Amino acid sequence: MNSHASKSRKPSLDELVFNALRQLQVLQYNQRSIRRYQSVWRRLVVFAHQQGHEGRLREQLILDFLEHHQINSRVPIRALKGWKKHAEYGLTLLWQFARFGYFERGKTHAGKLCIPATMQRSQHDFKKYCEEKRYLSPHTVNEYVRQVGLFLDFLGRRDVKNFNQIHPEDLSDFVYSLSRYSRKTVAATVSSVRMYLRFLFFTHRLNQDLSSSLPGVFSPQRASIPSVWDEGLLAQLLDKIDRHSPRGKRDYAILLLACRLGVRSGDIKALALDHIDWAAETITFTQAKTKLPLRLPLTEEVGNALIDYIQSVRPITQCREVFFTLKPPFRPFTKNARLSHIVSYWKELAGIHFRTPQRHGLHSLRHSLATRLLEDDVPFSVIADILGHASMNSTMIYAKASVESLRQVALSVQEVGHVDEV
């Protein structure tokens, strides 16, 4: 859609719904999803006729419809029944389609982006700038480039083929088009695009710095309380692990690193044999997130689990990484590998169900350790050291969590018996 061309006639609500359903088919949504959105949109059309609404879709109509059916964003989706579970997101898609003439799936693959040929070179140069001038990690660079790709794809769909054709309206509309994502994701994307716009200006691709015209998205760092495990449920999870099987031996060691030492998922994947000092009973490594060194005590429990896995399961190889995949060809975890399935697998086997919805990946085990230490009156500075936080602000977030039932458990910093050297 060309935002700079003369505006064509806006379709009626019935026409809009028909075209939106066709867009779902083009994007190859499955029939179940199509029926869900169709159910929401059909009810909106009926409501509009009952209210005497004619013509194109208006935002107030959507708000009135949600209020009429008592659908409130503050109510958890789990509390809604039937079609109402999908109402808000379905109407967001329809509103976006009305404004921009298209919508995308929740996940957009980089290979499917349509970036104008005249802008592709700038994306490549921006990547080099992030690597060579900003010294960003490969993962961060890839995220920045992917997010900029979304922006360039958006411009291409609006027939913007030259950087100096970009108007502030394009920037605000781009941010609005991200409404299908969480606030945190939108804030991260806007930050990447803002840096990109400054890069375009400094490299004389843009005649003026448009970075200030990009709407800001406030994503408070302390907006959510970290998810933590009840002490009994965590014990139930660990007890359920089959420590006689290869998978159980590996997963048990991984889970202990997370819940007893608070090691991040990325650092667990990168953990090497050289990081473990069996004689000194320490694990020392440079954190992938903060680039700061971290030394942790190798407790007897964690040490024994690591020895059991290394001696019985870990393949004989010249690679120095500790943890490997379980199926041939055996190889270390990649940087992009997600380890959340490890928790999910044993959680399901243990029949664990939380009283309220919460995250339950590896990072939630790290949160649980921090909260237990806090409940055990361990000073914030000590907790920050254990978790390897670069800033005390990251540690202070745990003060929001009240988990009285976890008061019993804390990381032992006392000396433990020597672990036999492997």
332, β-bridge pairs: 324
Cα 189 from Cα 147, distance rounded (Å): 5
What residues pair up with 272 in beta bridges, in sequence order? 321
Q: Residue 275's domain is classified under what CATH number?
A: 1.10.443.10
Domain extent, residue 169, equals 110-213
Average pLDDT for the chain: 81
Q: Does the residue 221 lie in any domain? A: no
Name the percent of the chain lying above pLDDT 90: 38
User: Model confidence at 403, in pLDDT bands (50, 70, 90)?
Assistant: very low
Number of domains making up the chain: 3
Residues 201, 258: one domain? no
CA distance 87 to 65: 10
CB 103 within 8 A of CB 23: yes
- Active-site annotation holds for 69: no
Residue of 196, 252, 309, 398 with catalytic role: 398
Strand order in the sheet with 293-297: 276-277, 282-286, 293-297
Question: Considering 157, 269, 363, 367, which one is annotated as catalytic?
Answer: 363
Among residues 260, 264, 269, 367, the one annotated as catalytic is 264
3-state secondary structure of 96: helix
| 388: Cβ contacts below 8 Å, ≥ 6 apart | 262, 264, 287, 290, 292, 294
Query: Model confidence over 11-52: pLDDT tens digits?
Result: 889 999 998 898 888 777 888 889 999 999 999 999 999 988
Residue 363 among the catalytic residues: yes
Same domain, 96 and 120: no
| Domain assignment present for 414 | no
The answer to whether residue 222 scores a pLDDT higher than 50 is: no
The mean pLDDT of 87-104, rounded to a whole number, is: 80
Indicate if 181 belongs to the active site: no
Exactly one of 36, 366, 367, 372 is catalytic; name it.
366
CB atoms within 10 A of CB 322: 25
pLDDT of residue 125: 96
User: Does 126 lie in the same domain as 259?
Assistant: no
Mean pLDDT for the stretch of residues 288-308: 91
Residue 331 a catalytic site member: no
CA angle 204, 208, 211 (to 5 degrees): 105
pTM for this structure?
0.49
The catalytic residue among 127, 289, 295, 359 is 289
Select from 158, 186, 213 the last residue of a domain.
Answer: 213
**Same domain membership, residue 186 and residue 94:** no
